[in-house]
Amino acid sequence: MDFNFRLPENFAKDSPKRDLKLPEGANGLVVHCCCAPCSTSLVECLIFNKIKPVMFFYNPNIYPTEEYEKRRDEWVHLCELMNIEYVIGDYDYQMWLKEVEGLENEPERGRRCLKCFTHRLTVTALFAKSRGINTFTTTLCTSRWKSKKQVDEAGFRAQDKVEGISYWDQDWRKEGLVGRRYELVKEIDFYNQLYCGCEFSQISAGYCKKGIVEKEEK
């Protein structure tokens, strides 16, 4: 899929947060990314504050395959525009279904989401360790649609599972970052994502492949 969007001229020339520093002892940073829109103000802030991350796309929860490919390819285009190193993890939706088996009917922000986040962030922590990087964070709670408390719980669970790797629980919504996120999303005109990602969130969002979406963009 071809994406022809470009970064705004003022991208990374400023950021609402101008005093960001890596946690003490961090030797680099891996950023788990869920999509391009959620990566915008976070990565802009990192670049402005002279922190160059490795971007990691690991989202086996996204359904169907066509949706996964749209989000992945848009994210890849964004990373290339930013000239930042990126890595794409494996995509195995059937494996992910087994990870959340028995939790299919959980509400959004329920136990299924916690299990999903923990799995994805544990794989991220393992990836960071394989690269010799001891710190990771995620774009998962850059918007109001996700619970930061739940994402942080998943991050610390992942940290506990992978020795020598630390989760950075920086709040990527405060100090003007969430406002900047929505500003960039609108200006760049990203693909219009209509649900969180998995088939269960698809149902919750009222989305039907053969129908009409009536819900607000998530």
| Binding-site positions for [4Fe-4S] cluster | 34-35, 113, 116
Give binding residues as ranges: 34-35, 113, 116
Query: What distance in Å separates the CA atoms of residue 87 and residue 27, rounded to the nearest whole number?
Result: 18
Backbone angles phi, psi at 166, to 5 degrees: -115, 140
Sheet holding 86-88, edge to edge: 86-88, 54-57, 30-33, 135-138, 166-167
Helix axes 148-161, 111-130, angle to 10 degrees: 50
Q: 18 exposed, middle or buried (CB, 10 Å; 0-12, 13-18, 19+)? A: exposed
Residue 200: alpha-carbon gap to chain centroid = 18
* Tokens linked to 34: 């869920």
Query: What distance in Å separates the CA atoms of residue 55 and residue 52, rounded to the nearest whole number?
Result: 9
Query: What distance in Å separates the CA atoms of residue 115 and residue 151, rounded to the nearest whole number?
Result: 10
